[in-house]
Amino acid sequence: MRPMNYEMRPPRRGLPPTLSSNLFGQFERVEYVVFTKADPELAWRIFSNVDSWPKFCPLYRNIRWQGAPWTVGSRLHLELQEPVSAIVDRALTVCMPPHHISWISHVRGYTMEQWVSLDPTAGGGTRISTWIEVTGAGVSRDRELDLQELKSVVCTWFDNFSLECDRAAPDPHDIRSAAD
């Protein structure tokens, strides 16, 4: 068993930190986990191809990089179509392929920190997990509806991403692919 390198792990897995009651109601946390037969390297290759993201969620449209792709400090601009109709501006804060990616997003008056982790499983696949902490937006927004939409987009995107990873993963029972 390898010793854990804690510097390589995303912060705050699990419960959010203890905050004053004034601050606690100002942010929400969304978490989601899926599994795939693909190893983390293959999952990363699929994840890092942002041109394929519209296949994972039909809301995604016109995705473009500002700066070098997958470089800390670069930005990713995503247009979301109806019923959301919004522009998402993401600034990459951590990129440790093929295991951890993090960004700060701004959309519709919200600020979101998101981490995505691609962790190998004992069976040779990958555990794909994400968490998002959301804060912001004024009283003019229907916060509960926005959070429901966010959860729906996260579930749809990661479910379809894991299915794409499964399709691309070699079949361990296929002798031809094992020999190649």
Q: Which residues of 86-99 are buried (b: 16+ CB within 10 A; e: fewer)?
A: eebebbbeebeebb
On average, the pLDDT of the chain sits at: 84
User: Is 131 domain-assigned?
Assistant: yes
Range of the domain at 96: 26-179
User: Is 100 domain-assigned?
Assistant: yes
User: Is 125 domain-assigned?
Assistant: yes
Q: Assess whether pLDDT exceeds 70 at residue 15.
A: no
User: Is 98 domain-assigned?
Assistant: yes
User: Is 20 domain-assigned?
Assistant: no
User: Is 6 domain-assigned?
Assistant: no
- pTM summary value: 0.80
pLDDT at 108: 86
CATH number at residue 126: 3.30.530.20
């470089």: which residue's tokens? 71
pLDDT digits (tens, 9 = 90+) for 163-174: 999 999 987 665
Higher-pLDDT residue of 26 and 55 is 55
Q: How many domains does the chain have?
A: 1
User: Is 9 domain-assigned?
Assistant: no
Cis status, amide bond into 172, omega within 30 of 0? no
